[in-house]
Amino acid sequence: MRMRKIGVDHNMWLQDTIHHDDLRMAVEFVKGLQGATLDDPSLGMSDGALHCLQNPPHEQSPRVVDKVTRLAIDLFLGNPLEATYETNCRAILCFQLDLDLISYYKVKSLVANLTGIESVIHHMCVKPCIAYTGPFVDLNACPLCSEPRYDQFHLESSSGLEKVPCQDSIPSP
């Protein structure tokens, strides 16, 4: 009796041999991961973040952060959504008018500079069934629930030029 070698049969990766939709989709994600590179534009990484990953600093330079800037960093790290940061800043400024809290974009940039880590945001289904990554990156509607990827009002009022996502993932700082 001849023993069959246990391992990955490379023929199973051929699309015409896969019949179940979920398995076919899993294969697409695996293929995407197998061919992934850091400079793939679908990952959403900026040139600066890519440079930091490929050229990490050998020593940390000392940085002085005042109390108000530290508050802004804490607000951002607590929930890095822009709307939440802005709402929290307005609430704090109602309590203490003389604070000079930095903008969302400045604190986001500061955190990226301090840590070398940058947020990567991908669109998501509003339900949320999927994230528009991998084999879903070019879709305009969710393949599971058919909800549109982009805000239809903005899309129609801009003659298809302004693609505002209905939902973004929560960025991870």
| Cα dist from 145 to 14, 142, 152, whole Å | 27, 6, 16
- Rounded mean pLDDT of 51-75? 80
Q: Grade residue 113 by pLDDT with cuts at 50, 70 and 90.
A: confident
Q: Grade residue 128 by pLDDT with cuts at 50, 70 and 90.
A: confident
Across all residues in the chain, what is the average pLDDT? 80
Q: Which of 107, 52, 43, 50 is nearest to 79 (CA)?
A: 107
Q: Grade residue 46 by pLDDT with cuts at 50, 70 and 90.
A: confident
Q: Grade residue 54 by pLDDT with cuts at 50, 70 and 90.
A: confident
Question: What is the pLDDT, as a whole number, of residue 50?
Answer: 79
CA 160/CA 168 separation, integer angstroms: 19
Question: What is the pLDDT, as a whole number, of residue 12?
Answer: 54
CA 94/CA 123 separation, integer angstroms: 33
Q: Could you tell me the pTM of the whole model?
A: 0.58
Q: Which of 123, 110, 118 is nearest to 151 (CA)?
A: 123
Helices (H), the chain: 21-34, 47-54, 67-78, 82-95, 104-115, 152-157
Q: Grade residue 4 by pLDDT with cuts at 50, 70 and 90.
A: very low
Q: Which two tokens stand for residue 144?
A: 């599971």
Q: Cα-Cα-Cα-Cα dihedral of 75, 79, 80, 81, to 10°?
A: -110
Three-state secondary structure call for residue 150: strand
Tell me which amino acid residue 113 is: N
- pLDDT tens per residue, range 133-148: 888 888 999 998 999 9
- Rounded mean pLDDT of 78-98? 90
Decide if 104 contacts 85 (C-beta within 8 A): yes
